[in-house]
Structure 1
Amino acid sequence: MSIIDIAAQIVKNESSESSDDNARTIILAGSKSVGKSHLLYSFLEKSDTPRETLVLEYSFGRKSSQKQSIDKIICHVWEYGGRLEMLKSVLTSIPLSKKFYYCVMVDLSKIKTIWDTLETSLQAVKENYTDTSNFPEIIIIGGKYDIFKNYDSEIKKFICTTIRSVALIFNTYLLFYSYKESHLLRKAKEMFYTIGFGTGVPLKEKNTNYAKPLIIPKGSDSWDSIGVSASTLEQVKLRHQSRIAPENEIKLEVKPLQRTHPEPILDSLVALKYEELRSMETYDPSIDEHLILLQ
């Protein structure tokens, strides 16, 4: 069985033992090697050392409830570590509970990748979940703040302006994080614990000073506070890229996979397997032609 098959069965089994109101789903996506696994391991209190997430990994946490009518609360956790271009197709295969949180972690230490991570990750969730009754709460997490805090003050201000603008447009929560700084790790861990087993996103305090770690609750920011005129996503993108050009990477063209199976989830699993092959260090680009012939 594939990872999604096994995880889906766990979700089904666990959900049958709890009501929809007491099952939560957390999806964490974003930059590679930014500390996603470390944060989740801390939240789930895993003692082993995090390993690299190549494509998609599932885990869950369980907490007994103090209410007599409820035995436990289940939190399903999905971490995506593959290429962001594949994220949209992966999201369609993840089973969801009624309470659903979508977290995007961007690497603040790699300023040339910030825009692509934000745009791709947020557009993927916007296009996949069009049902407003089950649209997730979105949280943007700026990772590796321990490095970012030492950058030039003008660069920090500019990056914070971009991220705050995107968070305002998508109506998200925002906080900066580093597992190397204990108070930031504690704050992020507490937030995950509350969305996983509590009543929702607990961010109440607010800091918009770019000289300190940002923490901005949803709906509490404004264009006047950010210091720019009201903007569309495209205008924010143009403003950002006018100063910080995208990272020049040679990207292999990933040809779209044709549907060849009777169930859509099988096509998603095939796409995941191909993505896993492409992520291997020994991957030979010429294998793309072979993969297409197998469709």
Structure 2
Amino acid sequence: MLSIPEIASQIVNKALVENKDDCERTIFLVGSKSVGKSTMFSSFLEKNDVPRETLVLEYSFGRKTVNKQSIEKTICHVWEYGGKLNTLDNVLSSVPGQGKYYFLVMVDLSKIKNIWNVLETCIAAMNETYADSANKPELILIGGKYDIFKNYDNEIKKIVCTTIRSVALASNSHLIFYSAKEPQLVKRAKEMLYSIGFGNGYHSKEKNTNFAKPLVVPKGSDSWESIGVAPSTMDKIKARHLARITPEAEAAADTAVAKPQLTHPELVLDSLASAKYEELRNMEAVNASVNEYLLALL
């Protein structure tokens, strides 16, 4: 017969296993280069450091006591991928999706010729990686650099918004537009990240489908009739988009590279860091080393 401490231990362990998903969240963010992914995460995690360029994969976390009646904290695991999109599937297979899992794809609205490639590559990698997974992440699409996009020609904005809304509807995902330079959009993004990182998921009361304003389209709230196109698969959406916007050559995409910031008191450390950054930038692929890289982070 079990003693009282042993019975108590079993009860506690069972409760911990059952409640693990309620105490952990995972957010994985990927998308266009230099679109503001790190800046958005820094705002969410309330970091004061100026974000640096993400070359491969970075991990951070947030911890909050959501329920004032409890001492138990909710942990949000935050992963940001800044490497080549054609190796994303290999990275995803190595990332532990703990608790409720969210997959965020951020496209640069100011680079309209690259939007389709980013959307298609990232969503395909997610679908392929988690095709047989019981913990398939919930998808959220984010249109970044809206402060630039809002000044584009109305016809261009309509085409891009129609495409992104169609992709969101076809993939059953949320959609929001964002800019680090517009306080209202920063606030909206922080509320979204907080709700998925420490709450019970994204449940926006806002909605806007007018392409003249920043889009906010919660999952399940849109329709093909509202978008103004026939029900479409991803292939049909792609054909319609590329017929109107010619994609940029792959070799010319994502060429802008920021220099690493000087962050160490000793110049020799900054020199070594700069050399390592340059080495990572020149890597043709990270397939062989990504698992070792992830293990080193954990």
Q: Which band: TM-score by shorter chain?
A: 0.7 to 0.9
Matched with 2:167 is: 166
* Alpha-carbon distance between aligned partners in 2 of 1:215 and 1:55, rounded to the nearest angstrom: 30
Q: Secondary structure at the match of 1:93?
A: coil
Q: Distance in 2 between matches of 1:19 and 1:69?
A: 15
* Equivalent-residue separation in structure 2 for 1:200 and 1:127 (angstroms): 23
Which residue of 2 is the match for residue 74 of structure 1? Answer: 75
- The answer as to 2:29 corresponding to 1:48 is no
- 1:9-88 to structure 2, matched below 5 A, reads 19-66=20-67, 68=69, 71-88=72-89
Within 2, Cα distance between the matches of 1:216 and 1:50? 28
Amino acid in the other structure paired with 2:227: I
CA distance in 2, matches of 1:135, 1:249: 29
Q: 1:65 to 1:235 in 2, by over 3 A?
A: closer
TM-score (norm 1): 0.79
Instruction: Provide the rounded CA distance (Å) in 2 between the counterparts of 1:75 and 1:250.
Output: 35
CA distance in 1, matches of 2:65, 2:140: 26
1:52-201 alignment, distance < 5 Å: 52-66=53-67, 68=69, 71-131=72-132, 133-201=134-202
Following the alignment from structure 1 to structure 2, what is the Cα–Cα distance between the partners of residues 98 and 64? 16
Greater Cα shift, 236-245 or 151-160: 236-245
CA–CA distance in structure 1, aligned partners of residues 129 and 90 of structure 2? 9
Question: Hey, what does 1:222 align to over in structure 2?
Answer: 223
Q: Which has the larger radius of gyration?
A: 2
Question: Counterpart of 1:241 in structure 2: which amino acid?
Answer: L
RMSD over equivalenced CA pairs, Å: 2.4
Could you tell me how far apart the structure 2 residues matched to 1:177 and 1:68 are?
34
Q: 1:90 to 1:277 in 2, by over 3 A?
A: farther
The alpha-carbon deviation at position 32 of structure 1 amounts to 0.6
Unaligned runs of 5+ in 1: 1-14, 252-275
Residue 191 of structure 1 aligns with an amino acid whose one-letter code is M
Q: Is the 8 A contact 2:97 2:135 kept in 1?
A: no
Residue matched to 1:11: none
Runs of 4+ deviating beyond 6 Å: none
Partner of 2:25: helix, strand, or coil? strand
Moved more, 34-43 or 240-249: 240-249
Contact 2:209 2:215 in 1 (8 A): yes
**Distance in structure 2 (CA, Å) of the matches to 1:278 and 1:243:** 38
Query: What percentage of aligned pairs have identical amino acids?
Result: 62
8 A Cα contact 2:20 2:99, kept in partner: no
Q: What number of residue pairs does the alignment pair up?
A: 248
**Helix, strand or coil: the match of 1:146?**
helix
What is the Cα deviation at residue 66 of structure 1?
2.3
In 1, the alpha carbon distance for the partners of 2:25 and 2:187 equals: 21
Equivalent residue letter for 2:20: S
The 3-state SS of whatever aligns with 2:112 is coil
Instruction: Provide Cα deviations, 1:214-243, integer angstroms capped at 9, x if missing partner.
Output: 000001111100001111111111111111
The CA deviation string for residues 19-65 of structure 1, in whole angstroms up to 9 with x for no partner, is 22110000000001000000000000000000000010000000023
Structure 2: gaps of 5 or more residues: 1-15, 253-276, 290-298
- Change over 3 Å in CA distance of 1:64–1:228 after alignment to 2: same
SS at match of 1:46: coil
Question: Judging changes above 3 Å, is the alpha-carbon distance between structure 1 residues 65 and 207 closer, same or farther for their aligned structure 2 residues?
Answer: closer
